[in-house]
Each structure stands twice: as C-alpha cells, then as structure tokens.
Amino acid sequence: MAFRSRITGTGGFAPPRVVTNDEMAKIVDTNDQWIQERSGIKTRRLVDFEGAMSTGDMAEQAAKAALERAGITALDLDLIIVGTVTPDMRVPSCACIVQQRLGAKNAAAFDVLAACAGSMFALSVADKFIRTGTAKRILVIGGETLSVITNWTDRGTCVLFGDAAGAFVVEAAPEDGPGLVDTAIYSDGNTWQHLYIPAGGSKQPLTPQLLAERKDRLIMNGREVYKIAVRSLVDAAEKILAKNGLTAADVGLVVAHQANLRIIEAVAQRVDIPLDRFVINIDRYGNTSSASALITFDEAARDGRMKPGTNVLMLAIGAGMCWAAALYRA
Ligand SMILES: CC(C)(COP(=O)(O)OP(=O)(O)OC[C@H]1O[C@@H](n2cnc3c(N)ncnc32)[C@H](O)[C@@H]1OP(=O)(O)O)[C@@H](O)C(=O)NCCC(=O)NCCS
C-alpha cells in the first residue's frame, strides 16, 4: 500500500516577552518606521535573556501541543527530526534533547541544518520515511533561539529576528486522502557567504578575541539575500505547481517562511497569487528561522483558514542558501 504523509497535529510556541520596534530603537540606531517599511515587523518574541529559555525548551512545548492535537503520545513516535541552527548544545542534537523531554523512547532522533529552511527540509525527509513505509509517526520540529546568535550591535540584522518553535505530527495516511502531495529541496553552496557565522566551528574555533569581535554572530548581506530569496522562492513555487499539474489559481493558501513582508509581496506578485492567500504573522513574530513555516501553518490550521481540500503551498529559504517548497492538500 502506498502512503502519504498527513499532518495530524500542529503546535507552536513563542516566548512570552514581546519586544516592540521602539524597544529595539533603545538597543541600536533604528526606528519603528524603518523597520516596518523595510520588513513588515512590528514586534518580535524573544527569550528573556541568553540562556533563559532554550530551543529545546520551546520545541518541547510546541511538540506537546502537536501530539495532543494529533491524539497520540510520545511513545507512538518512530522518529523526531528537528531543523535548527541553535541547538541547546553543540552536541548532542536538539532532537535527542526533545526525545528525552517527551519520553519518546521508541523514536530515533536527529537534527537537520538548513537554517531558515530547516523545518521544510525536515518535513521533506520525514515524507520520504513515511512514503517508503520506514516510519509511521514522525515529529517534525523547527525551533530557533536566534537571539543567541544575533549581533545586537548590527542594526541591519538584529531588528529582523525572533525566537520560537513549531511542531508537526506527521503520520502515514492513504495515498488518495489529505496530506503532502510533494516536496522539493534545493541548495546553492556558492552563495553561503551572504548569510553565515564565521567562528565557533572547526574552521575558526572560538577564542576570546573572536568572541570580542562578535564573530560568533550572524553576518548577512541583506540585499543579496533578498534577491536570491525572491528568485529562488518564485522558481520553487512555479516548479512544484507545474510538476503536480496545478496553477497559481489552484492554490488556496500559502504558508511561506516569514523572512520579510517585502519578500512575501514580491513572491506573491511574481507567482501571481493574491497576497490575501498568504498567511502572514511576521508583524508579530519577526523572522523565527526554521520555526517560521511551522508556526505559520499552525496558526492557519487552528484559525479555520485551512479548509478541507485546500491546496496549501509551503515555501522557505535560509542560509546556505537552501530553499524548499511543499504542496499539502488539507
Ligand atoms: C535587511 C533588509 C531589510 C535591509 O533593507 P534594504 O532596503 O536592503 O536596506 P539596506 O541594507 O540597503 O540599507 C539602507 C539604509 O538603511 C540603513 N539601515 C540598515 N538597518 C537599519 C535599521 N535597522 N534602522 C535604520 N536604518 C537601517 C542602512 O545603514 C542603509 O543606510 P545608508 O543608505 O545610509 O547606507 C533587506 O535587505 C532584507 O530584508 N533582506 C533579506 C533579509 C532576510 O530575509 N534574511 C533572512 C533570510 S532567511
């Protein structure tokens, strides 16, 4: 029997502390108008201070909500895949931390690193396990504490990011019912230098000097990332629709990584899908990296926008650069 991956439960968690643009203006030379005009962000949610709440802590909360909505327990899980660039520790994986917290002792657990596209890469991997019959119930998580890798003296990046975690329970379901129709993942390693963290890996192990120079923090060429994001997401959207015999008119809802409202608007215009079909929450959360697509899907799943039969187009892009598309029939 052929299987399809059905998302049977979703969950999202963001730390309680809401940080406004006016508060950001006390940290760096910026203002509410600039941030809103260039990114669409009004507030973001941040862990209280570094170390107060970890990616694993947030992932645990999102996962518990997703398991409850799916009506299964952690013991039912075969696999846990976490997309993150901010695991609790360098070793072990965040997925193993989550496994312990949930008591998911029957699952294998590992992380994938595709930055802001990490959860969509994880979803694509999960889909392959389901389709091959290797796993029946998988927890897919995107969790990120970007505030711990943000350079809080760089106004060009720090105003954009937020902390959060999202989770999906993905279960094997009949091929002809609701579920993931297709996924596609892409990377272009020639573009990595537009978004990266120079130190803290094997190439440049941390030293006091590198820490003082904030080389353990994100560096971004915003203009290049913007151009690559629009071009890549449009291409991925067009390819996955064409491959599955659909047109833009068939798409009822778009769940895209919330990197920047202007990127979303440009993609909407070029793919020719009205902006009101895009689920938007960047105004409240900022760019939460791998959590973004999952908390956005979760929001739409819970507020009734995801009606049965809706074709949902999912899109994400992140450092690498890596990008992904998925088609989901609700
Ligand atoms: C980062 C981004 C919002 C910047 O917008 P932009 O229109 O490209 O702006 P620029 O970087 O050209 O900067 C324009 C001016 O604003 C200034 N500026 C940058 N950040 C600022 C801030 N937070 N507040 C006020 N001014 C700021 C710059 O210094 C520059 O000033 P100058 O003209 O005097 O040199 C935009 O490039 C972007 O969204 N890129 C994609 C980022 C992204 O999505 N990354 C994650 C991918 S997963």
pLDDT digits (tens, 9 = 90+) for 270-302: 999 999 999 999 999 999 999 999 999 999 999
What's the pLDDT at 52?
82
CATH class of the region 3-176: alpha beta
Half-sphere exposure of 24 (CA within 13 A, CB side): 31
Q: Write the residue with the smallest CA distance to atom 28 of ligand 1.
A: 156
Query: Who contacts 209 (Cβ-Cβ below 8 Å, separation ≥6)?
Result: none
Among candidate residues 257, 260, 281, 322, the one labeled active-site is 257
Region for residue 266 given its phi and psi (left: phi exceeds 0; alpha: psi -120 to 50; beta: otherwise): alpha
Q: 30 CB less than 6 Å from ligand 1?
A: yes
pTM for the model = 0.96
- Bridge partner list, 311: 329
166-199 per-position pLDDT tens digit = 999 999 999 989 999 999 999 999 999 999 999 9
Sort 320 into a burial class: Cβ within 10 Å, 0-12 / 13-18 / 19+: buried
Q: Where does 200-250 have alpha helices with state H?
A: 208-212, 222-243
Decide: 146 and 160 in contact? Cβ < 8 Å: no
C-beta 232 within 6 A of ligand 1: no
Cβ–Cβ < 8 Å for 170, 123: yes
In a 3-state reduction of DSSP, which class is residue 286?
Answer: coil
Residue 147 tokens, joined: 């505030």
Q: Do 3-176 and 180-329 come out as alike in CATH topology?
A: yes
Q: For this structure, is 116 an active site residue?
A: yes
Nearest residue to 99 (alpha-carbon basis) of 131, 153, 141 = 141
The domain segmentation of the chain, as residue ranges, is 3-176, 180-329
Distance CA 253, CA 108 (A): 32
Q: How confident is the chain (330 residues) per 10-residue block, as mean pLDDT?
A: 93 96 97 98 90 93 98 98 97 98 98 98 98 97 97 97 98 95 98 98 97 98 98 98 98 98 98 98 98 98 95 98 98
At 48 the pLDDT is: 81
State the Cα–Cα distance between residues 126 and 137, nearest whole angstrom: 9
Q: Which CATH architecture has domain 180-329?
A: 3-Layer(aba) Sandwich (3.40)
Ligand 1 centroid, distance to 222 Cα (angstroms): 6
Rounded CA separation 234/231 (Å) = 5
